Every structure is written in structure tokens, then in C-alpha cells.
Amino acid sequence: MPYYDYQCTICKNIEEEYRAIEDRDNEGLCKKCGGKTHRVIESPAVVFHGSGFYVTDHRDHDKGEKN
């Protein structure tokens, strides 16, 4: 089961909850004030693996060199 972010409609508190996929869109209650919460979609974290994504990995080594 994944974690989802929910924001309170009253106090704007954001909470992270561990829920089943089929329950992800169900409203909940804020743990701070008791108000209704709705799911917040946020951008995913970006993780780069391997040796790529560096300035020298895709550079044309012959470009700019004159012999």
C-alpha cells in the first residue's frame, strides 16, 4: 500500500497517510482540527541512477578541438 498526501480544507494542514489504492480518493478527517481532507497530487521525487546525467557523458569530444 502506498502513501498519499491529504490536505485539510479548514486548517490547510497536509498529512501523509498509508492507504490501499482503492481507498486513495476517499475523504478523511484532519488529525489537527477534525475538518474534511482531500487528496493532494504532488510531483514525484526524481532519482538519477548510474553514471549518466553529467556534463561529460554526452559531450561531443571532437567539437571545438582544432589540430
Residue 22 has pLDDT above 80, yes or no: yes
Q: Rounded to 5, what percent of the chain is helix, strand, coil? A: 5, 25, 70
User: Which residue bears the cell 477534525?
Assistant: 34
Q: Let me know: does 39 contact 19? Beta carbons within 8 Å.
A: no
Domain ranges, ordered by start, for the chain: 1-61
pLDDT average, residue stretch 19-34: 89
Mean pLDDT for the chain overall: 80
Greatest distance between any 2 Cα atoms in the chain:
73
* pLDDT tens, position by position, 28-55: 899 999 999 999 988 877 777 666 666 6
